[in-house]
Amino acid sequence: MPVITNELSKRYRDFLALDQVSLRIDDGEVFGLLGPNGAGKSTLIRCLLGFLKPSSGTATVDGLDCYLDRVSVHTKLSYLPGDARMYRTMRARSLLKMFAGLREGGSWKDAFDVADRLELDLNRWVGLMSTGMRQKLALAICLSVEAPLLILDEPTANLDPTVRGQVLELIKEAKSRGQTVIFSSHVLSEIEDVCDHVAILKSGKLAFEQSMEDLSWQHRVRATTAIRVADHVHKLDSEERPTIVQNEDRVMIETKGELSPVLKWLAEMPLRNVTVEPVGLRSVYDRIHSAKTVASDRKAEATA
Ligand SMILES: Nc1ncnc2c1ncn2[C@@H]1O[C@H](COP(=O)(O)OP(=O)(O)OP(=O)(O)O)[C@@H](O)[C@H]1O
């Protein structure tokens, strides 16, 4: 179920929460949305659900406009809100049955199975559950639906590590059934574990987007040397040329694709103290967010 946003922007009064975000999420993909608090992840998700009208640009699910055709769009997806609110005066078991009955093809047995895997006691009153238990209940409602598209706003928030692992397993199983999954998270290792593609939002803008496959090829080499490494980069084919940052005798070389041609090239140079490490999502994330601009600053500017 392809999901496409085209220069999607959302303004809350004077404040631009989403700024011309263009994304393409392919059918059957698990797509991770990262970004610090206030980056615009939930706003993007709410635009996809048609809960918010874009200020400009478009969002489509399977070719349907997320705002104008939202009723049809809702039949194709299952959504886990970041702050799921549920009837507090029901027992968990009755609530799961009620939600299964609301949806065509809904199965309370499947919902009970998911709840069981998440180790949730279904005899509890919803109002007396802990935050994590209510999160499990919301997940059981959402993940037991075989909708082509799952949209999960921080699905593992408030969960203990064992249950987090179960949720990631359920997401992988959804992918293997052909479901497309979009989920937001603050946990980089989760995104690395289950996602095919990752996007990082910063201050409402799309700051980074890449397939995990492409990211896994990228490596960083650090070394000390007396020569200027950039003077020798012409020996590599243009598509193999890495990014080189050199500060006196210390050099950092970041590959874009395969590591081996760069290593062969470096082997001919007088380098010392050489280390090689995968770039990884952590360093990409840290690099993007090392700049000072945060949403609260922009809000202050907007209201000044
Ligand atoms: N209804 C609203 N009115 C005004 N500002 C809003 C509204 N909803 C969100 N915002 C602001 O828009 C920005 C983006 O919020 P959003 O909830 O999309 O961020 P997020 O990336 O999901 O953050 P978090 O990780 O904390 O959940 C924030 O600065 C937030 O304060």
For the chain, give every domain's residue range. 3-76+147-214, 219-278
Beta bridge partners of 183: 32, 152
Q: What is the ipTM of this complex?
A: 0.97
User: 33: exposed, middle or buried (C-beta count within 10 Å: 0-12, 13-18, 19+)?
Assistant: buried
pLDDT at 104: 82
Does the structure show a pLDDT above 70 at 292?
no
Q: Which atom of ligand 1 is nearest to the CA of 296?
A: 29
288 vs 31 pLDDT, higher one: 31
Whose CA is closest to atom 1 on ligand 1? 12
Whose CA is closest to atom 18 on ligand 1? 40
Q: 34 in ligand 1 pocket by Cβ < 6 Å?
A: no
Task: Count Cα neighbours of 171 within 13 Å in the Cβ-side half-sphere.
Answer: 29
Q: Which atom of ligand 1 is nearest to the CA of 44?
A: 18
Phi and psi, residue 176, nearest 5°? -65, -20
pLDDT at 256: 83
> What's the CA gap between 300 and 170, in Å, rounded?
41
Computed over every residue of the chain, the mean pLDDT equals 92
Beta bridge partners of 244: 253
Assign 70 a pLDDT band (cuts: 50, 70, 90): very high
Q: Which atom of ligand 1 is nearest to the CA of 298?
A: 29
Residue 150 in contact with residue 172, Cβ under 8 Å? Answer: no
Token pair recorded at residue 239? 């598509």
Amino acid at 251: V
Q: Fold identical between 3-76+147-214 and 219-278?
A: no
B/e letters for 209-221, b = 16+ CB within 10 Å, e = fewer, are eeebeebeebbbb
> What's the CA gap between 132 and 157, in Å, rounded?
8
- Could you tell me the distance, in angstroms and rounded to a whole number, from the CA of residue 132 to the centre of ligand 1? 22
Residue 30 in contact with residue 185, Cβ under 8 Å? Answer: no
Stretch 195-217: mean pLDDT, rounded? 95
pLDDT at 96: 96
- Could you tell me the distance, in angstroms and rounded to a whole number, from the CA of residue 299 to the centre of ligand 1? 11
Assign 219 a pLDDT band (cuts: 50, 70, 90): very high
Stretch 91-97: mean pLDDT, rounded? 96
Tens-place pLDDT, residues 16-66: 999 999 999 999 999 999 999 999 999 999 999 999 999 999 999 999 999
Topology of domain 219-278 in CATH is Alpha-Beta Plaits (3.30.70)
Q: What is the pTM of this model?
A: 0.87
Token pair recorded at residue 283? 């360093």
Share of the chain above pLDDT 90, in %: 82
Q: Where are the beta strands (DSSP E) in 63-168?
A: 64-65, 77-80, 149-153
- Could you tell me the distance, in angstroms and rounded to a whole number, from the CA of residue 134 to the centre of ligand 1? 22
240 vs 139 pLDDT, higher one: 139
Q: Which CATH architecture has domain 3-76+147-214?
A: 3-Layer(aba) Sandwich (3.40)
> What's the CA gap between 61 and 210, in Å, rounded?
20
- Could you tell me the distance, in angstroms and rounded to a whole number, from the CA of residue 12 to the centre of ligand 1? 9
